């Protein structure tokens, strides 16, 4: 069965992607924090502030750009049709 995605919810899509970016950025921030602790290089005083604020900034930018991307997708899908995919029913065992 072929199905098309002809519209995506702007806010919901952006919210989910923003949350995923936030989680990913927290994981990245932990790695940067550990690497900075293990490094012998001098640490700038704003490094901790960056590590704390980066996940929020990353989530905000992810939200904004996903919102814009979802809006553009909806405009394009209205003209040329949505992304088409095939589904197959499977039996649970």
Query: How is the chain split into domains, by residue range?
Result: 2-86
Nearest one of 56, 51, 61 to 30, comparing CA atoms: 51
Residue listed under structure tokens 């990245």 = 28
Is there a contact between 18 and 60 (Cβ–Cβ < 8 Å)? yes
Give the model confidence (pLDDT) of 53-84 as tens digits.
999 999 999 999 999 999 999 999 999 999 99
Per-residue pLDDT of 1-44, as tens digits, reads 788 899 999 999 999 999 999 999 999 999 888 888 888 888 77
Separation of CA 37 from chain center? 28
- Quick one: tokens of 33? 């924090």
Band the pLDDT of 85: cuts 50, 70, 90: confident
Average pLDDT, the chain: 90
Which pTM value belongs to this model? 0.78
Q: Which of 16, 29, 31 is nearest to 56 (CA)?
A: 29
CA distance 3 to 76: 17
């Amino acid at each position: 069965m072929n199905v098309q995605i002809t519209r995506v919810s702007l806010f919901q899509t952006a919210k989910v992607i923003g949350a995923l970016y936030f989680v990913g950025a927290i994981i990245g921030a932990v790695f940067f924090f550990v690497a900075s602790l293990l490094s012998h290089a001098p640490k700038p005083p704003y490094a901790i502030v960056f590590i704390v604020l980066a996940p929020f900034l990353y989530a905000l930018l992810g939200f904004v750009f996903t919102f814009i991307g979802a809006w553009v997708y909806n405009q394009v899908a209205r003209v040329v049709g949505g992304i088409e995919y095939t589904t197959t029913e499977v039996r649970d065992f």
